[in-house]
């Protein structure tokens, strides 16, 4: 394979990886603010995929116009999930929220399988690509990465340039102190959780514009999110985006040389290595 081919593969990997980063931002935001490992993450990614499918095929909306409804819908579903599965587990052993979100995840996937089965869905999305040398970068990949960049920038501005973002960061820093400083922490927790779920949903929607999916695809992407947040440092959304890009870069680098079935092995070898060598994450230099 030519050098251009490898570079093209890496660039494409980075484009796709940024979307993994977006998914992971949702997971890591929730962990960072409330120490909850949200195991409904996978089913929320799948929900985003199915939202794209249903909105385009049943209502006839153009694929990229589903972004806003998915964001809003994800937020509302996230609020509901918070009150159902998470609220009573706040401040208790992390295992409690792990189990409760795990159970809700099973219920949701079970319901979904009963309705749609586990057949492969494919949402046809076409968008003009960019050709470089003999290689064409699909327009869907470019657009997904661009939208990811916009959403990540919006999240950053929200967290660091608004009062509500300040409240979220304060609660992440010290919940008790934040409450005593006049912040309604329960509402802030619900908001952060809903935001995390909305990010998972949107990332699922974007992934579904790239690849075919089934109702059970969530697990694989949830696992990728874990790899990404470990790379980026737990609880650090900016790190998660960088982690996603790093993972995509790695995937792009190895796919020309190794059968696809090996990528998961490599990713998890990396996961274990990072946990041992950089327990605070490779991109977590700023956190004290």
Per-residue DSSP letters for 84-135? IIIGGGTTS-HHHHHHHHHHHHHHHHHHHHHHHTT--B--------EEETTE
The mark string for 221-240 relative to another protein (x by CB under 8 A, - otherwise) is --------------------
Q: Are 201 and 51 in contact (CB under 8 A)?
A: yes
Determine the size of the site formed for another protein (CB under 8 A). 22
Q: Which stretch binds another protein (CB under 8 A): 82-90, 130-138, 164-172, 260-268?
A: 164-172
Q: Which residue has the tokens 């494409």?
A: 12
176 contacts another protein (rule: CB under 8 A): yes
The mark string for 268-287 relative to another protein (x by CB under 8 A, - otherwise) is -------------------x
In angstroms, give the least distance from the CB of 237 to another protein: 12
161 contacts another protein (rule: CB under 8 A): yes
195 contacts another protein (rule: CB under 8 A): no
Among residues 174, 220, 264, 268, the one that binds another protein under rule CB under 8 A: 174
Coil, strand or helix at 39: coil
The mark string for 13-52 relative to another protein (x by CB under 8 A, - otherwise) is ----------------------------------------
**Which residue lies nearer to another protein by CB, 110 or 279?**
279
Instruction: Give start and end residues of each alpha helix (H) in the chain.
Output: 3-34, 41-57, 67-81, 94-116, 139-161, 163-173, 175-180, 185-208, 218-232, 237-254, 263-277
Nearest one of 188, 224, 159 to 23, comparing CA atoms: 224
C-alpha distances (whole Å) from 247 to each of 28, 103, 193, 230, 266 are 16, 29, 25, 11, 10
Query: The dihedral of CA 222, 228, 230, 234: what is its sign?
Result: negative
173 contacts another protein (rule: CB under 8 A): yes
219 contacts another protein (rule: CB under 8 A): no
Among residues 8, 183, 231, 245, the one that binds another protein under rule CB under 8 A: 183
Question: For residue 276, how many other CB atoms are within 10 A of its CB?
Answer: 8
157 contacts another protein (rule: CB under 8 A): no
Binding site for another protein (CB under 8 A): 161-163, 166-167, 169-170, 172-174, 176-185, 287-288
């Amino acid at each position: 394979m030519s050098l251009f081919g490898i570079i093209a593969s890496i660039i494409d990997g980075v484009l796709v990886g940024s979307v993994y980063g977006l998914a992971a931002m949702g997971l890591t935001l929730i962990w960072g603010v409330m120490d909850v490992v949200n195991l409904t993450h996978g089913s929320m990614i799948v929900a985003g995929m199915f939202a794209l499918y249903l909105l385009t095929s049943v209502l006839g909306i153009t694929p990229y116009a589903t972004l806003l409804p998915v964001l809003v819908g994800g937020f509302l579903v996230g609020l509901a999930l918070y009150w159902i599965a998470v609220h009573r587990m706040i401040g208790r052993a992390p295992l409690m929220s792990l189990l409760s979100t795990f159970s809700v995840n099973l219920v949701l996937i079970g319901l979904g399988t009963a309705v749609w089965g586990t057949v492969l869905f494919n949402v046809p999305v076409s968008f003009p690509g960019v050709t470089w040398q003999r290689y064409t970068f699909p327009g869907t990949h470019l657009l997904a990465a661009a939208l990811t960049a916009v959403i990540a920038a919006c999240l950053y501005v929200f967290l660091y340039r608004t009062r509500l973002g300040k409240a979220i960061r304060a609660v992440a820093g010290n919940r008790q102190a934040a409450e005593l400083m006049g912040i309604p922490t329960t509402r802030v927790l619900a908001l952060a959780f809903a935001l995390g779920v909305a990010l998972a949903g949107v990332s699922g929607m974007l992934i579904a514009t790239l690849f075919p999916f089934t109702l059970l695809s969530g697990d694989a992407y949830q696992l990728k999110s874990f790899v990404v947040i470990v790379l980026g440092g737990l609880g650090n959304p900016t790190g998660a985006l960088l982690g996603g890009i790093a993972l995509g870069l790695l995937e792009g680098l190895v796919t020309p040389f190794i059968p696809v079935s090996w990528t998961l092995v490599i990713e998890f070898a990396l996961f274990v290595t990072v946990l041992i060598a950089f327990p605070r994450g490779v991109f977590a230099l700023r956190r004290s």
